[in-house]
A and B are shown apart, each in its own frame.
Chain A
Amino acid sequence: MIKDRQDVQVAFDVSGFMLAAPGTCSGTVGCGHWIATVDGPKCNPDKATYAASGGVDKSFAINFDKCMTPFWGPHQINVELVTDTGMATVVDSRQYPVSDSVMVTAAATYVSAQKILSAKCTPCHTVGSSGGQNIGSVYADAIKAVSASAPAACKDKKVGECATIRIKDGSMPQGAGCTGDPTKDATTPACLTADEQAVLDSWASNGLLQN
């Protein structure tokens, strides 16, 4: 799992193949470079965004912000060997591409969620203890059960989960005039944006991680 909005470092091993910068193999058999893709063509339409220059450097960094796929959630990382010109995939003895792929999930933690909650839920839920919780400043409050006075939609939920539900139904931030639809609320600064809602959704759906 990849936590919060950080670049991801990927390393890999290669054997039985000589890595070199593209176009520098000088006809050497078994020589070429590698190309990495994230979420197929959806993060790097030109198939170059994450392609390294080859050589012996077998690592690269990914910034999921470059993806057309949602930042939060699953991402597929694939690395494959290509020939010196980069025009053909290297295949093994069974004619399968010499490649490997892994799935990772980008998940928000309280580190990301708190920045939003402390800004949009203050002062009622940072110092006011409204509803018996200061979710914007105290992590322990985010993971405790909702109070008996919580709406039915939050029954058996934790405070952090309830917060995302109430933000999306427009009942929070209370009195701010939000509908819960970021498009309709775009002109009301007190309401959460789509990106902010996505962070809280990720945080809630991944177990309200602290960090």
Chain B
Amino acid sequence: MKSIRPIHLVLALSVSLTLACDVTGDPVVPSGAKLTIKTPTNQP
């Protein structure tokens, strides 16, 4: 039976943190977000 070495834990933790946050500390947004501008118009 293989044992879990400390280095494995560090790598796993590092990967999970990378996936969860960007460099600003904001949560990463899951894919699928979409933004669409409607036609601009003169204000009434």
Contacts and interface: CB of A to CB of B under 8 A. Distances in A.
A29 interface: yes
A81 B25 CA distance: 16
B24 A81 contact: no
Chain B contact residues: over half helix, strand or loop, or mixed? loop
B27 to A, nearest CB: 4
Q: Chain B interface residue count: which class?
A: 20 to 34
Nearest to B24: A87
Contact of A16 (B27, B28, B34, B42): B34
Contacts, number: 106
Interface in A130-188: none
B33 A16 contact: yes
Given A84-B26, A85-B26, A90-B29, A2 B34 contact: no
Contacts of B25: 85
B35 interface: yes
Contacts of B33: 14-17, 30, 81, 90, 92, 98
Given A30-B29, A79-B37, A85-B25, 12 more contacts: A2-B40, A9-B43, A11-B37, A14-B35, A29-B30, A30-B30, A77-B40, A83-B26, A83-B27, A84-B27, A88-B22, A99-B35
Interface of B: 22-43
